[in-house]
Amino acid sequence: MPRIGLLMASKYLKTSQIAKETGVHPNTVRLYEEYGFLSPIERSETGYRLFTPLHLEQMRLARLALQWPYPGSREGVFELVKCAATDDLGMAMEWAYQNLAHVRVERTHAEAAIEFLERWALGHVVDTTRGQFQIGDAAARLGVTVDMLRNWERDGLIDIPRDPQNHYRLYGAAEFGRLRVIRMLRQAGYSLMAILRMLLQFDAGRRENLRHVLDTPREDEDIQWVADHLLTTLGEQEARAQAVIRQVSLLIEMSANAK
């Protein structure tokens, strides 16, 4: 990497300055350089890194895109940041919009699952199964595993009636309807804790604001996953995906002005 005289160093930013501006430890800045998230950095004759305003904006982009939960797919945000570091800003912008689309698709699935839940909660029929099925047939009908059905029952999401003669579980239309709600919410990304929280309110006869309950952990809950408040998380991810687009736009403007 080219080296320049110390007299020119005052025109550049230090590692500590980049770290302070982006709210990270100086070692994080060095790691981002090592991982290829920043374009090549010149060194002084004594080996100090000499950052430019471009590096600062690249660092801001990396911080926006690489915080969990990612504003898009994991692959997408890593490729975006690396493209920006190699001055392939057109591809970086493509990745930025693909990531925005990814978040919006997830948000659409989450919203659709809630609409399905609200339809069921209002008493609309969501399953017309006739007769009763044992657990193996029920799992096949729903396209899930037997273990999943057992786990949902064990976790308190559903109480399955038993045959009084042999005590086998019996699944009818009511059970299938509730299970379809659970399955759709799980497929959309909601956590078991969030679904349980909502179903407990439903079973207590409080059918209003289930969307809010599904997305709002109680104060006594140990929140471990972003899926415990999925709608809020997806909203934040979409806002961050749009911020990433604005940051890539800034880098494109800087690159255009430098030519």
Just give the CATH number of 1-51.
1.10.1660.10
**CA-based nearest residue to 113, from 185, 179, 16, 187:** 185
Q: Which residue shows structure tokens 């004594």?
A: 46
First-to-final CA distance of the chain = 22
Q: Which residue shows structure tokens 């976790």?
A: 155
Separation CA 165–CA 116 (nearest Å) = 35
Strand locations in 144-184 (E):
none
Q: Give the domain ranges of the chain.
A: 1-51
Rounded to an integer, the average pLDDT of 56-75 is 95
More confident residue, 8 or 154: 154
Tens of pLDDT, residues 115-133: 999 999 999 999 999 999 9
What distances in angstroms separate CA 156 from CA 37, 111, 149, one per listed residue? 45, 24, 11
Would you place residue 175 in the very low, low, confident or very high pLDDT band (cuts 50, 70, 90)? very high
**CA-based nearest residue to 195, from 208, 184, 206:** 184
**Percent of the chain whose predicted confidence (pLDDT) is above 90:** 85
Residues 201 and 211 sit within 8 Å (Cβ to Cβ): no
